[in-house]
A and B are shown apart, each in its own frame.
Chain A
Amino acid sequence: MSSRIRDLPVVVVTFAIIGLILFPFFWMIISSLKPSTDLLTRELQLIGRSLTLENYRGILEAGFFRFVLNSVFMCTTATIVCVWLISSPAAYAISRYHFPGRNSILAMVGFTQMFPWVILVTPVFMMFWALRLVNSYLGLIIVYIAITVPFSIYMLLGYFETIPKVLDEAAVVDGCSPLGVIFRVILPISLPGLVATSAYTFAVTWNEFVFALTLMTQTEKKTVPVGVANFLGQYTTDWGVVMAASVVATVPTVIFFLLLQRHLVAGLAAGAVKQ
């Protein structure tokens, strides 16, 4: 018991910091529940005098729910395809095989992180137009996969390196094909690593703005961050509505993280050893 009391300062300090870090998030939620006219006040009030769901009705009427569905659908699909079908085999190959060009491929993966993405937008739009991938869910999913593949490969590589090679050799002796080894042996025991990578991928795609803006001009295909930006008007901006949209834009990823939290840290932990 005495040690628990001696721990108290550490606990208090930690949660004080966490409280500070979380404050903007709470403030956003509180602001979204205030009528717009109450937002600009010089009185310091934690909870407004009158709480309202009016702002949320506003975003529903503007079709924001559709944007949430679009984002969930495209981000989930992109995450699954990116992590399981594209990055895992690539990371496995880099981890297990020594082949000519291996280092160039690693360098190339690193190179992709060195662009300011805004310069890719116009050429990507031109190519996607030629391929009929503008205003198409498939098109934006491909973008989302492409922008998340490099870092996913890197994360999974770190993870796969920690898995003893004996395991896949045993499977090969059993007559398993490389894909069989990946899907039946490596991926199942890499679940924490996959979850951590998926969380990263989901967060990046959920927050992506420029490509979604450019490639999706039809209202019914827009994503959440673009939907939030649409509320910032030229003649007037309704801050209550913007705050409500911000809450809706944030909560799904936060829930997603919370659900996966246990795996997340464990996954990164294992991956960290060999880096």
Chain B
Amino acid sequence: MKLMRIEKRKLIELVLVVGLSLTLTLVTGMAGFAQDKISLIFRQNDSPADATGLSEAVQEFDRKHPNIKVQYEVVPWSDALTQFVREAGVGGGPDVLQLAFVWTMDLAKAGTLVKLNPLFEKYPLPRGIDDFVALELGKMGDDVYGIPWTTDTFAMIYRKDFFAKAGIVGFPDDSWSHFKEVAKKLTEDRDGDGIIDRYGFAFPAGSGPTGGMWFLVNYFIWSHGYTFMKQNGDGTWQLGVDAEAIAEAMRYFNSFFEEGISPRSLIAVDSWGDPEILHGLAKGDFAMGFMPPQSFRAAMDANPQAPLASAQVPAGRVTRRTHLGGRTLAINKNTKHLKESWELLKWMCSEHVFETYYRQQFSAQKTLLEKVSYASEYEGYVKLIPQAQTFYEYIVSPVRVQTMWSLTNREFAAVYSGQKSVERASKDLLEAIEEALQEATGKS
């Protein structure tokens, strides 16, 4: 009977714990209803280190609008699109959200975003809608569905001290072969033990679907006069590159691994902001790299003493082109507070926010971009941005950018790892894109 009493006490404890937990759940759940302010959700996708200041910007907006309370949400890039589509389908989601340039049009077509024309006509932007670069990416006809928020491009990064020591004057941006020559010259086995101590060039060569190889491949083929997607005069689309041109790019980048200019560990690196690349440049394990300005800044922060600088991407036979990337802000079709959402979107794009809070990013407005005084380290970016072009032709083409992106990374990494020959991988890549094109246009 004594045993029974103990068990009874345990049972009571159990019931208490469960009861308390459920009450707590309910209470925290109810807390949201206790206010009559307009509640907005602002969602962005960057990690805390990449988005410093943003939550403070939201807080200042709250203070300026006593009738609005903004909730600041973070969903990582890798899941942001899927999550929003799920929410949009059931009538939920954030009010104002951050999107990758390449998602905007697809989401607009799917009917998940608000047409913004009536809003900026009634409550205009301070410098007008035409002040934004890359506006065409969020447009269908004349209808605007996304406001370009931030923008960037990729540039080459190098260590000035290593260049000086090796007697190299000026960055080798005149040709890809010259670039490789210099990269090889900068590669060094200081103690002669057969293990390389400093590699010439660091680039993200991973096979992940959102890895950075895609950009480097495009820059290379663009500069040789090719492009993945090309529109014919009659409006139909076709591949603007052949197997030989792809094979040339594959052979070029693979030679960095074969000749020991880049370490094979990079075949596992997807992100341009990977610590191996950033810290490697900061510490001097690499002489050159390839990344957007936000990552460049992180590399400089990792070692303020390292004499890093940026330079242009090498030119090829034809034109010199890099891509203009970035993010848009859009309003969810399901929002119940259109005017307030627009107010918030305008605030996030304002000069004040970029000057005071969101300082690590570059605004997508021409007048603001012109105003920024860049430190000399950013020279490469400053030169490249005016020449950069968006992925517009890819975005409006029948094949999704993400499909070409993931296929490219996969086939290039297959070559680097020795899984496929250059001939086979270049053929496979073209056939897969061709197949996606036929499937999308219904000619199968």
Nearest opposing residue in chain A for B45, CB measure: A234
Q: How large is the interface on A (under 10, 10 to 19, 20 to 34, 35 or more residues)?
A: 35 or more
Answer whether residue A107 sits at the interface, using C-beta atoms and an 8 A cutoff: no
B275→A183 contact, CB < 8 A? no
Q: When chains A and B are docked, how far (Å) is the Cα of A129 from the Cα of B29?
A: 15
Answer whether residue A40 sits at the interface, using C-beta atoms and an 8 A cutoff: yes
Answer whether residue B274 sits at the interface, using C-beta atoms and an 8 A cutoff: yes
**Which of B11, B24, B47 has the most CB atoms of chain A within a 10 A radius of its CB?**
B47
Nearest opposing residue in chain B for A61, CB measure: B48
Interface segment among B85-93, B113-121, B123-131, B397-405: the answer is B85-93
Determine the chain B residues whose CB is within 8 A of the CB of A207 once the complex forms: none
CB<8 Å pairs between A and B, sample of 7: A37-B282, A40-B283, A184-B7, A230-B47, A232-B76, A235-B273, A238-B275
B7→A188 contact, CB < 8 A? yes
A130→B90 contact, CB < 8 A? yes
Chain B 16-39 per-residue mask, 1 if CB under 8 angstroms from chain A, else 0: 011001101110110000000000
List B residues 66-117 near A (Cβ within 8 Å): 71-77, 79, 83, 86-87, 89-92, 94
Chain A 150-161 per-residue mask, 1 if CB under 8 angstroms from chain B, else 0: 000000000000
Interface residue tally for chain B (C-beta within 8 Å):
57
Binding site for B on A (CB under 8 A): 36-37, 39-40, 62, 73, 76-77, 80-81, 84-85, 122, 125-126, 129-130, 134, 136-138, 141, 183-184, 187-188, 213-214, 217-219, 229-239, 241
Other than A37-B302, A241-B49, give 19 A-B pairs with Cβ distance below 8 A: A36-B279, A37-B283, A80-B14, A183-B7, A184-B11, A188-B6, A214-B83, A217-B43, A218-B73, A219-B72, A230-B47, A230-B48, A231-B48, A233-B49, A234-B46, A234-B273, A235-B273, A236-B295, A238-B275
B271→A234 contact, CB < 8 A? yes
B83→A217 contact, CB < 8 A? yes
Determine the chain A residues whose CB is within 8 A of the CB of B94 once the complex forms: 217
Interface of B is mostly: helix
Answer whether residue B238 sits at the interface, using C-beta atoms and an 8 A cutoff: no
Chain B 278-289 per-residue mask, 1 if CB under 8 angstroms from chain A, else 0: 111011010000
B7→A237 contact, CB < 8 A? no
Known: A126-B90, A230-B48. A217 touches B73 (CB 8 A): yes
Q: When chains A and B are docked, how far (Å) is the Cα of A219 from the Cα of B25?
A: 16
Say which residue of B4, B18, B25 sits within 8 Å of A184 (CB atoms). Answer: B4
Q: When chains A and B are docked, how far (Å) is the Cα of A262 from the Cα of B4?
A: 23
Determine the chain B residues whose CB is within 8 A of the CB of A76 once the complex forms: 17, 21
B274→A137 contact, CB < 8 A? no
Determine the chain B residues whose CB is within 8 A of the CB of A84 once the complex forms: 14
Q: When chains A and B are docked, how far (Å) is the Cα of A85 from the Cα of B298?
A: 51
- Return A110 CB to nearest CB of chain B, in Å: 28
